[in-house]
Protein backbone atom coordinates (compact mmCIF):
# COMPACT_ATOMS: atom_id res chain seq x y z
CA UNK A 1 0.00 0.00 0.00
CA UNK A 2 1.17 3.54 -0.80
CA UNK A 3 0.29 6.62 1.26
CA UNK A 4 -0.34 9.98 -0.43
CA UNK A 5 -0.48 12.85 2.08
CA UNK A 6 -2.10 16.21 1.25
CA UNK A 7 -1.69 19.06 3.73
CA UNK A 8 -3.86 22.15 3.40
CA UNK A 9 -7.35 23.56 3.82
CA UNK A 10 -10.82 22.72 2.52
CA UNK A 11 -13.43 25.47 2.22
CA UNK A 12 -17.08 24.52 1.75
CA UNK A 13 -19.91 26.98 1.10
CA UNK A 14 -23.28 27.36 -0.57
CA UNK A 15 -24.86 30.22 -2.52
CA UNK A 16 -28.38 31.62 -2.75
CA UNK A 17 -28.55 30.55 -6.42
CA UNK A 18 -28.08 26.94 -5.31
CA UNK A 19 -24.50 26.29 -6.44
CA UNK A 20 -22.32 24.69 -3.75
CA UNK A 21 -18.54 25.00 -3.79
CA UNK A 22 -15.72 23.01 -2.19
CA UNK A 23 -12.28 24.59 -2.59
CA UNK A 24 -9.24 22.43 -1.81
CA UNK A 25 -6.07 24.47 -1.26
CA UNK A 26 -3.03 22.17 -0.94
CA UNK A 27 0.35 23.91 -0.42
CA UNK A 28 1.95 20.51 0.32
CA UNK A 29 1.05 17.38 -1.65
CA UNK A 30 2.57 14.61 -3.81
CA UNK A 31 1.35 16.61 -6.82
CA UNK A 32 3.01 19.83 -5.72
CA UNK A 33 1.21 22.94 -4.53
CA UNK A 34 -2.22 23.31 -6.16
CA UNK A 35 -5.84 24.36 -5.70
CA UNK A 36 -8.87 22.56 -7.13
CA UNK A 37 -12.59 23.28 -6.92
CA UNK A 38 -15.48 20.84 -6.73
CA UNK A 39 -18.74 22.41 -7.88
CA UNK A 40 -22.31 21.18 -7.70
CA UNK A 41 -24.63 23.45 -9.68
CA UNK A 42 -28.24 24.10 -8.71
CA UNK A 43 -29.37 21.58 -11.35
CA UNK A 44 -27.28 18.83 -9.73
CA UNK A 45 -24.41 18.84 -12.23
CA UNK A 46 -21.12 17.95 -10.52
CA UNK A 47 -17.95 19.53 -11.91
CA UNK A 48 -14.27 19.37 -11.06
CA UNK A 49 -12.16 22.43 -11.92
CA UNK A 50 -8.60 21.10 -11.97
CA UNK A 51 -5.32 22.83 -12.84
CA UNK A 52 -3.64 19.80 -14.46
CA UNK A 53 -4.30 16.32 -15.80
CA UNK A 54 -2.35 14.79 -12.89
CA UNK A 55 -4.63 16.48 -10.37
CA UNK A 56 -7.75 15.59 -12.36
CA UNK A 57 -6.78 11.92 -12.62
CA UNK A 58 -6.01 11.60 -8.92
CA UNK A 59 -9.15 13.39 -7.76
CA UNK A 60 -11.52 11.61 -10.16
CA UNK A 61 -10.14 8.27 -8.98
CA UNK A 62 -11.42 9.19 -5.51
CA UNK A 63 -14.56 11.27 -6.17
CA UNK A 64 -17.41 11.29 -8.71
CA UNK A 65 -18.15 14.06 -11.23
CA UNK A 66 -20.29 14.55 -14.31
CA UNK A 67 -17.59 16.59 -16.04
CA UNK A 68 -14.01 17.77 -15.55
CA UNK A 69 -12.73 21.17 -16.65
CA UNK A 70 -8.96 21.54 -17.01
CA UNK A 71 -8.22 25.19 -16.35
CA UNK A 72 -5.72 27.36 -14.50
CA UNK A 73 -6.80 27.70 -10.87
CA UNK A 74 -5.43 30.59 -8.84
CA UNK A 75 -5.93 31.03 -5.12
CA UNK A 76 -4.65 34.06 -3.25
CA UNK A 77 -4.87 33.87 0.53
CA UNK A 78 -4.76 37.25 2.25
CA UNK A 79 -3.55 36.55 5.77
CA UNK A 80 -5.46 38.53 8.37
CA UNK A 81 -3.64 37.35 11.47
CA UNK A 82 -0.60 35.37 12.51
CA UNK A 83 -2.43 32.08 13.12
CA UNK A 84 -5.42 30.31 11.59
CA UNK A 85 -7.01 30.65 8.16
CA UNK A 86 -6.86 33.94 6.32
CA UNK A 87 -9.62 36.49 6.54
CA UNK A 88 -10.03 36.76 2.75
CA UNK A 89 -9.54 34.29 -0.11
CA UNK A 90 -9.68 35.05 -3.85
CA UNK A 91 -10.16 32.13 -6.26
CA UNK A 92 -10.33 32.13 -10.07
CA UNK A 93 -10.98 28.88 -11.94
CA UNK A 94 -12.39 28.81 -15.46
CA UNK A 95 -15.99 30.08 -15.25
CA UNK A 96 -15.76 30.65 -11.48
CA UNK A 97 -14.84 33.88 -9.70
CA UNK A 98 -14.98 33.61 -5.92
CA UNK A 99 -14.00 35.80 -2.98
CA UNK A 100 -14.88 34.80 0.56
CA UNK A 101 -14.03 35.84 4.10
CA UNK A 102 -13.49 33.81 7.24
CA UNK A 103 -14.49 34.52 10.81
CA UNK A 104 -13.74 33.04 14.20
CA UNK A 105 -12.73 29.54 15.19
CA UNK A 106 -15.68 27.25 15.84
CA UNK A 107 -16.10 25.19 19.02
CA UNK A 108 -15.11 22.10 17.04
CA UNK A 109 -12.07 23.98 15.75
CA UNK A 110 -11.01 24.81 19.31
CA UNK A 111 -11.32 21.16 20.31
CA UNK A 112 -9.33 19.99 17.27
CA UNK A 113 -6.60 22.60 17.79
CA UNK A 114 -5.99 21.19 21.28
CA UNK A 115 -5.11 17.74 19.88
CA UNK A 116 -1.43 17.20 19.02
CA UNK A 117 -0.95 17.28 15.26
CA UNK A 118 0.74 13.86 15.16
CA UNK A 119 -2.32 12.34 16.84
CA UNK A 120 -4.99 14.25 14.91
CA UNK A 121 -3.55 13.35 11.50
CA UNK A 122 -2.88 9.66 12.13
CA UNK A 123 -5.11 7.16 10.26
CA UNK A 124 -5.69 5.29 13.53
CA UNK A 125 -7.15 8.39 15.18
CA UNK A 126 -9.24 9.14 12.08
CA UNK A 127 -10.76 5.65 12.32
CA UNK A 128 -11.56 6.30 15.99
CA UNK A 129 -13.34 9.60 15.28
CA UNK A 130 -15.27 8.42 12.21
CA UNK A 131 -18.31 7.14 14.14
CA UNK A 132 -18.97 10.35 16.12
CA UNK A 133 -18.30 12.38 12.97
CA UNK A 134 -21.08 10.54 11.18
CA UNK A 135 -23.53 11.96 13.73
CA UNK A 136 -23.04 15.40 12.14
CA UNK A 137 -22.96 14.10 8.56
CA UNK A 138 -19.20 13.86 8.13
CA UNK A 139 -16.65 11.10 7.58
CA UNK A 140 -13.04 10.92 8.76
CA UNK A 141 -12.16 7.42 7.52
CA UNK A 142 -13.45 5.03 4.88
CA UNK A 143 -13.18 3.68 1.36
CA UNK A 144 -12.90 6.08 -1.54
CA UNK A 145 -13.19 4.10 -4.78
CA UNK A 146 -10.74 1.89 -6.70
CA UNK A 147 -9.83 0.10 -3.43
CA UNK A 148 -8.54 3.35 -1.95
CA UNK A 149 -8.73 4.27 1.72
CA UNK A 150 -9.04 7.90 2.79
CA UNK A 151 -8.44 9.57 6.15
CA UNK A 152 -9.28 13.16 7.09
CA UNK A 153 -7.18 14.49 9.96
CA UNK A 154 -8.86 17.82 10.74
CA UNK A 155 -6.87 20.22 12.90
CA UNK A 156 -8.90 23.44 12.94
CA UNK A 157 -12.19 24.92 11.70
CA UNK A 158 -13.14 28.55 11.07
CA UNK A 159 -16.46 29.90 9.81
CA UNK A 160 -16.99 31.42 6.38
CA UNK A 161 -18.85 34.69 6.95
CA UNK A 162 -19.52 36.03 3.43
CA UNK A 163 -18.82 35.45 -0.24
CA UNK A 164 -19.05 37.07 -3.65
CA UNK A 165 -19.25 34.46 -6.41
CA UNK A 166 -20.10 34.35 -10.10
CA UNK A 167 -20.32 31.65 -12.77
CA UNK A 168 -19.66 32.76 -16.37
CA UNK A 169 -20.24 36.30 -15.15
CA UNK A 170 -23.62 35.54 -13.52
CA UNK A 171 -23.83 36.41 -9.82
CA UNK A 172 -24.56 33.41 -7.58
CA UNK A 173 -25.98 35.44 -4.73
CA UNK A 174 -24.99 35.66 -1.07
CA UNK A 175 -23.67 32.96 1.26
CA UNK A 176 -25.91 30.05 2.22
CA UNK A 177 -25.42 26.69 3.97
CA UNK A 178 -24.22 23.73 1.88
CA UNK A 179 -27.69 22.28 1.42
CA UNK A 180 -28.61 19.93 -0.04
CA UNK A 181 -25.32 18.09 0.67
CA UNK A 182 -22.85 17.81 -2.20
CA UNK A 183 -22.62 14.39 -3.89
CA UNK A 184 -18.97 13.99 -4.83
CA UNK A 185 -18.45 10.90 -2.71
CA UNK A 186 -16.64 10.07 0.50
CA UNK A 187 -16.13 12.85 3.03
CA UNK A 188 -18.71 15.52 2.22
CA UNK A 189 -18.33 19.06 3.51
CA UNK A 190 -20.31 20.30 6.55
CA UNK A 191 -23.57 22.16 5.98
CA UNK A 192 -22.19 25.15 7.87
CA UNK A 193 -19.91 27.20 5.57
CA UNK A 194 -16.41 26.77 6.94
CA UNK A 195 -12.70 26.38 6.28
CA UNK A 196 -11.09 23.24 7.73
CA UNK A 197 -7.36 22.86 8.16
CA UNK A 198 -6.73 19.23 7.33
CA UNK A 199 -4.20 16.54 6.51
CA UNK A 200 -5.76 14.10 4.05
CA UNK A 201 -4.14 10.68 3.65
CA UNK A 202 -5.12 8.56 0.65
CA UNK A 203 -3.90 4.95 0.71
CA UNK A 204 -3.74 3.22 -2.67
CA UNK A 205 -2.96 -0.42 -3.57
CA UNK A 206 0.53 -1.19 -4.76
What pLDDT, in 10s, does the model give residues 69-126? 999 999 998 876 545 555 899 999 999 999 999 988 888 788 888 888 888 888 888 8
Question: Among 61-65, 139-143, 156-160, 192-196, where is mean pLDDT lowest?
Answer: 139-143
Q: What is the pLDDT, as a whole number, of residue 56? A: 97
Comparing 149 with 141, the larger pLDDT belongs to 149
Whether the pLDDT of residue 163 is over 90: the answer is yes
Mean pLDDT of 150-174: 93
Q: What is the pLDDT, as a whole number, of residue 187? A: 61
Q: What is the pLDDT, as a whole number, of residue 13? A: 97
Comparing 42 with 150, the larger pLDDT belongs to 42
Mean pLDDT of 183-205: 84
CA distances from 175 to 36, 67, 184, 200 (A): 20, 25, 20, 26
Name the average pLDDT for the chain. Answer: 88
When pLDDT is cut at 50, 70 and 90, the band that residue 159 belongs to is very high
Phi, psi of 127, deg, nearest 5: -65, -40
Q: What is the pLDDT, as a whole number, of residue 110? A: 84
With CA atoms as reference, report the closest residue to 38 among 27, 47, 51: 47
Please, which residues have CB within 8 angstroms of residue 114's CB and are 6 or more apart in sequence? none
Whether the pLDDT of residue 135 is over 90: the answer is no
Whether the pLDDT of residue 136 is over 70: the answer is no
CA–CA dist 183, 168 (Å, integer): 22
CA–CA dist 128, 132 (Å, integer): 8
CA–CA dist 16, 174 (Å, integer): 6
CA–CA dist 120, 100 (Å, integer): 27
CA–CA dist 18, 149 (Å, integer): 31
Taking the model in full, what pTM does it have? 0.90
Whether the pLDDT of residue 49 is over 80: the answer is yes
CA–CA dist 126, 132 (Å, integer): 11
Amino acid sequence: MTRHVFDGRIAGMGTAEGTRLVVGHWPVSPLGSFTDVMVERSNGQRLLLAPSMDVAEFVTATYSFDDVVLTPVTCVVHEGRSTGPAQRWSVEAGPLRLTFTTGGRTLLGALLAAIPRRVATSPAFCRLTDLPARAVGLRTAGTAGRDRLEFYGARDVHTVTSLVASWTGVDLGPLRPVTPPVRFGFGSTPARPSVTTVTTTVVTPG
